[in-house]
Structure 1
Amino acid sequence: MKRMQIAFRTDASIEIGTGHVMRCLTLADALRERGAESLFICRLHNGHLMNLIAERGYTAVALPKPPADGIKACAVPPHAYWLGTDWARDAQETRQAIGAVDCLVVDHYGLDCRWEEELHPACRHLMVIDDLADRPHDCDLLLDQSLGRTRGDYDGLLGDHAITLFGPNYALLRPEFAKLRAASLARRVQPKLEHLLVTMGGVDKENVTGSVLDALDEGTLPPNVRITVVMGPHAPWIDQVRVRAAAMRYPTRVLVGVSDMARLMAESDLAIGAAGSTSWERCCMGLPSFVLVLADNQHPVAEALQVSGAVVALQKPSQVVTHLEERLVSGTVSQFLLDLSNAAARVTDGEGVARTADRMVCEHV
């Protein structure tokens, strides 16, 4: 049987972050296990991940680097400026790059139905990965891993024929999260506060990590607390964070470009993180979390998770210490961590990538 041919159109940059490319790589890995071949088409933004894609064993086609001024004046869709060019040119360049494929996967907030209509003739199936429900799509399959997402959120934005995969049980997590889930949940039956994990996404362009460390250093935490900071290799503040970590009152290590995030989460007692795609990783592991919103599109994620009881959503880093100190003084920190862990674990089981890949293969057959 001919191998299923997949093409991914997605980008990473200092502005966009790394999450879109990383979750597409996770899906590509699952599809490779099912016999598919994948191609990535990415623009050469500052902070692109072309080398990582190649290291993972995939062909990566580079679209031209955008001009320094980009297209920030374009207003439709709201993230159109992420493209670095206009949608029509991007569609033409992508069409030339992929030829014809069985499935084209689009994970890009800057693209909408106009681009998708142009590319549809180049593929048997077109799949969109979205989190925003803020623009129309012309696709055969839509994946939106947002908590509480329903078809109604896409009224007027999606054709009746489109198949939808909604909710965190379709979150594209690497298999190691599901594998370590049971062990992670087991160690939280009797919660303790000894190991804090700080992870503000792959870029953290505003150095919120540094502000979190400032707050923790000024607070009163248990004397045996240690801190692990995880940063992406393209984060612009790595050197400054390392200097700040070395001056902390609590033992603090800084890890860059880790490949074992599931293990780190399983070994952590509390996370302080961004309300992005790593939220689903923390939930799978039952890791109690404070979340900070680093981009407008993260607000719905933070609000939904807080309503579910899975996280405490905060507006600024200093509130982390205030919340912890209140519970340490009242002696309720263990119950607080246990409640967060139980609620988080109910959000997703970490098997979303297998479910998604199986559905894609089924549609292909």
Structure 2
Amino acid sequence: MKIVFRADASLDIGTGHIMRCLTLADALKSKGAECHFICREHVGHLIAHVRIAGHEAHSLPLTRSEKTHAGQMDGSAPKHAQWLGVSQQEDALDSINVLKRIQPDWLVVDHYALDFRWESELRPYADRLMVIDDLADRTHDCDLLLDQTYGRGSEEYRLLVPEACSLLCGSLYALLRPEFAQWRSYSLARRARPELGHLLITMGGVDRDNVTGRILETLAQGCLPESCCISIVMGENAPWLDPVRQTAAQLPWRASVIVGVKDMARLMAESDLAIGAAGATAWERCCLGLPTLLMVLADNQQAIAQSLQYAGAAQIIDQVSWKHGVVITELLSERRRMTDMARAASEIVDGMGAERLVYKIYG
């Protein structure tokens, strides 16, 4: 089976779309599938990362034209149209040139800037088409749609897809690498006696606004136990990487900045509390029952954050509630809340979503 993924990473887009597609690609490759990626060369792309992971990557040049600008100004364009870098029509033509050579069984699209117009153009060049989405804000032309958002119901997409489209909605289908399921039992067992000996900070692969740096500055005011250690995960393309390293080195606790983490499941399992963005890593933390203070870094993260807080699986923090580290102080004084948060989170994701999706694709 040949499968092509159309997804991008950039300073604006972040890394989450590529990373969850890689999770699916790895699962499919383990079943014998041949996986290809089509990615545009935005600043902050992960094309080399895709190739290192063992998949073919076909790069598209980053060019702009008058048609591109006109397409982005069109009132009918997707809300995130500017993330594409070209018009949907231009991107479709570029992608068709790749698909003609591969002749895939499946085309998987994970891009907020693409909708039914692009998908309809590409349909003749793949046997079946799948969309990965979590916005439910535009029409699609696909055979299968996945939205791994907790609490998402298929009725929210029914009028946005063809009648025959299969809908896989909810955190049951969260795309996690197999190591998260492997570390799940160990991680959940640790939560019975909550403490704060290891704090994990992960604001996504880019963090272009340096939220990580502001968090460290607040922590420096002394709201953590003396024996606590801090792990800070950042992407190799993060623009504030060096300043964060400098700030971390000045903290009164042992703090390490980890770039290109290879064992996130183990790191999360061995952490007692996380401060993280409400993006794709939210599902990883849920699988391992890791109590989390959530920060919303983009509009599309708002629904995820609200649903997790409502379920008791995390607590949303903002610049006001975070000030002076009051939130952490409150958690340390009411540690039962950390236990309750861990239990609620673990009930949302079990780590088997990728296997369920692979079964659906091969079925």
TM exceeding 0.5: yes
CA-CA distance at 1:6 after TM superposition:
0.4
3-state SS, counterpart of residue 60 of structure 1? strand
Question: How many correspondences in the alignment?
Answer: 356
Alignment deviations for residues 279-331 of structure 1 (CA, whole Å, 9 cap, x no partner): 00000000000000000000000000000000001122761721121343xx3
Whole-angstrom CA distance in 2 between matches of 1:38 and 1:317: 45
Instruction: Indicate if the aligned counterparts of 1:91 and 1:119 stay in contact, CA closer than 8 A.
Output: yes
Instruction: Indicate if the aligned counterparts of 2:154 and 2:168 stay in contact, CA closer than 8 A.
Output: no
- Name the residue aligned to 1:190: 193
Alignment equivalent of 1:16, drawn from 13, 26, 39: 13
Q: Residue 326 in 1 paired to residue 330 in 2?
A: yes
- Name the residue aligned to 2:26: 29
CA-CA distance at 1:221 after TM superposition:
2.1
3-state SS, counterpart of residue 218 of structure 1? coil
TM-score when scaled to structure 2? Answer: 0.95
- Name the residue aligned to 1:180: 183
3-state SS, counterpart of residue 164 of structure 2? coil
- 1:309-348 equivalent positions in 2, closer than 5 A: 309-316=312-319, 319=322, 321-328=325-332, 331-332=333-334, 334-348=335-349
Q: Residue 302 in 1 paired to residue 302 in 2?
A: no
Alignment deviations for residues 123-173 of structure 1 (CA, whole Å, 9 cap, x no partner): 111000000000000000000001111122124211110001111111111
Whole-angstrom CA distance in 2 between matches of 1:123 and 1:307: 40
3-state SS, counterpart of residue 118 of structure 2? helix
Kindly provide the amino acid, as one letter, of the partner of residue 49 in structure 2: L
Instruction: Indicate if the aligned counterparts of 2:208 and 2:239 stay in contact, CA closer than 8 A.
Output: yes
Whole-angstrom CA distance in 1 between matches of 2:189 and 2:307: 25
Alignment deviations for residues 90-119 of structure 1 (CA, whole Å, 9 cap, x no partner): 011101111121100000000000000111
Instruction: Indicate if the aligned counterparts of 1:184 and 1:285 stay in contact, CA closer than 8 A.
Output: yes
Alignment equivalent of 1:204, drawn from 207, 211, 221: 207
CA-CA distance at 1:74 after TM superposition:
4.8
Whole-angstrom CA distance in 2 between matches of 1:105 and 1:206: 30
Kindly provide the amino acid, as one letter, of the partner of residue 163 in structure 1: S
CA-CA distance at 1:67 after TM superposition:
3.6
Identity of aligned residues (%): 51
Whole-angstrom CA distance in 1 between matches of 2:330 and 2:20: 37
CA-CA distance at 1:219 after TM superposition:
3.6
Whole-angstrom CA distance in 2 between matches of 1:317 and 1:285: 28
CA-CA distance at 1:65 after TM superposition:
1.4
3-state SS, counterpart of residue 101 of structure 1? coil
Whole-angstrom CA distance in 2 between matches of 1:324 and 1:311: 13
Kindly provide the amino acid, as one letter, of the partner of residue 13 in structure 2: I
Alignment deviations for residues 159-203 of structure 1 (CA, whole Å, 9 cap, x no partner): 110001111111111110001000000111111111100000000
Kindly provide the amino acid, as one letter, of the partner of residue 299 in structure 1: Q
Alignment equivalent of 1:53, drawn from 42, 50, 53: 50
Kindly provide the amino acid, as one letter, of the partner of residue 40 in structure 1: F
Unpaired stretches in structure 2, ≥5 consecutive residues: none
Alignment equivalent of 2:265, drawn from 234, 237, 262: 262
- Name the residue aligned to 2:223: 220
Kindly provide the amino acid, as one letter, of the partner of residue 319 in structure 1: W
CA-CA distance at 1:14 after TM superposition:
0.7
Instruction: Indicate if the aligned counterparts of 1:211 and 1:317 stay in contact, CA closer than 8 A.
Output: no
Instruction: Indicate if the aligned counterparts of 2:202 and 2:232 stay in contact, CA closer than 8 A.
Output: yes
Instruction: Indicate if the aligned counterparts of 2:64 and 2:85 stay in contact, CA closer than 8 A.
Output: yes
Instruction: Indicate if the aligned counterparts of 1:131 and 1:146 stay in contact, CA closer than 8 A.
Output: yes
Instruction: Indicate if the aligned counterparts of 1:6 and 1:105 stay in contact, CA closer than 8 A.
Output: yes
The answer to which of 184-193 and 215-224 deviates more is: 215-224
Cα RMSD of the aligned pairs, angstroms, is 1.5
3-state SS, counterpart of residue 137 of structure 1? coil
Instruction: Indicate if the aligned counterparts of 2:99 and 2:126 stay in contact, CA closer than 8 A.
Output: no
Unpaired stretches in structure 1, ≥5 consecutive residues: none
Alignment equivalent of 2:250, drawn from 247, 250, 256: 247
Instruction: Indicate if the aligned counterparts of 1:205 and 1:236 stay in contact, CA closer than 8 A.
Output: yes
Alignment equivalent of 1:114, drawn from 107, 111, 117: 117
Kindly provide the amino acid, as one letter, of the partner of residue 146 in structure 1: T
